[in-house]
């Protein structure tokens, strides 16, 4: 039997917009863009970038944080996709360089509370954010908080077929490690530049309807 897994990025992939970018735009000092540029150009890793950016958030309350997270919209077809995959015995996991507190709060608000998530850890107490990075790798050239390559390579030992769904920079290093890649936005352009095979998508509707995955109904 062909054991399949669908690995999904979160920000900008499951959510309609990049949650962290919107969050920082709204609550952080504008200098967060400086660190974003340094990360995008490869001068710093994502761990350093996100620490510096969150240091620029001052005076946030718990009420503000959770009000924002409950306002985040997810892809209109993600819940349908996830339920179909479960019904077909296809594993779905989220692998993100974001944060568990943010991802779980958004998903639970949308009625999803049983999905496997690999990401960075975030706590918020008395106005202070505390971060931990349980999924780092000493081999990670990007110095990412969550080394997606390490996690995907582990899954490759368990599953026969790897599907990956992504959209942006944090997916660049891992996109050539999947058997089938769904790409949009910056990831799509990167794959074109590097001659990496991909399946273009805009929403999870196209993922559902793709014959390779076998969810087409």
Residue-wise pLDDT for 57-79, tens only, equals 999 999 999 999 999 999 999 99
Which one, of 108, 117, 116, 110, lies nearest residue 80 by Cα? Answer: 110
pLDDT given at position 161: 96
Q: How far apart are CA 92 and CA 83, in angstroms?
A: 10
Q: Is 37 helix (H, G, I), strand (E, B) or coil?
A: helix
Q: Encode pLDDT of 75-90 as tens digits.
A: 999 999 999 999 999 9
pLDDT given at position 216: 73
Q: Encode pLDDT of 160-177 as tens digits.
A: 999 999 999 999 999 999
pLDDT given at position 142: 86
| Residue 217 confidence (pLDDT) above 70 | no
Q: How far apart are CA 22 and CA 108, in angstroms?
A: 19
**Mean model confidence pLDDT for the chain:** 95
pLDDT given at position 1: 54
What's the N-to-C CA distance of the chain in angstroms?
21
Output DSSP code: residue 88: T
Q: Quick one: average pLDDT of 132-158? A: 94
Q: How far apart are CA 149 and CA 107, in angstroms?
A: 24
pLDDT given at position 145: 95
Q: What are phi and psi of 199, to 5 degrees?
A: -115, 120
pLDDT given at position 215: 87
């Amino acid at each position: 039997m062909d054991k399949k897994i669908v690995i999904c990025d979160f920000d900008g992939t499951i959510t309609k917009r990049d949650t962290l970018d919107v969050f920082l735009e709204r609550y952080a000092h504008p200098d967060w863009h400086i660190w974003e540029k340094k990360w995008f150009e490869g001068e710093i890793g994502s761990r350093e970038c996100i620490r510096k950016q969150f240091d620029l958030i001052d005076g946030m309350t718990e009420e503000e944080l959770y009000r924002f997270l409950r306002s985040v919209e997810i892809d209109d077809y993600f819940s349908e996709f996830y339920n179909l995959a479960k019904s077909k015995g296809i594993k779905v996991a989220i692998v993100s360089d974001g944060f568990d507190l943010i991802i779980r709060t958004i998903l639970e608000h949308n009625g999803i509370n049983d999905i496997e998530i690999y990401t960075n850890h975030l706590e918020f107490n008395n106005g202070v954010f505390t971060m931990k990075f349980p999924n780092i790798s000493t081999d990670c050239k990007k110095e990412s908080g969550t080394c997606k390559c390490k996690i995907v390579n582990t899954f490759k030992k368990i599953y026969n077929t790897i599907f990956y769904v992504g959209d942006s920079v944090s997916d660049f290093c891992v996109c050539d490690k999947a058997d089938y890649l769904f790409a949009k936005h910056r990831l799509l352009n990167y794959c074109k530049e590097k001659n990496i095979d991909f399946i273009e998508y805009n929403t999870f509707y196209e993922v559902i309807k793709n014959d390779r995955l076998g969810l087409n109904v």
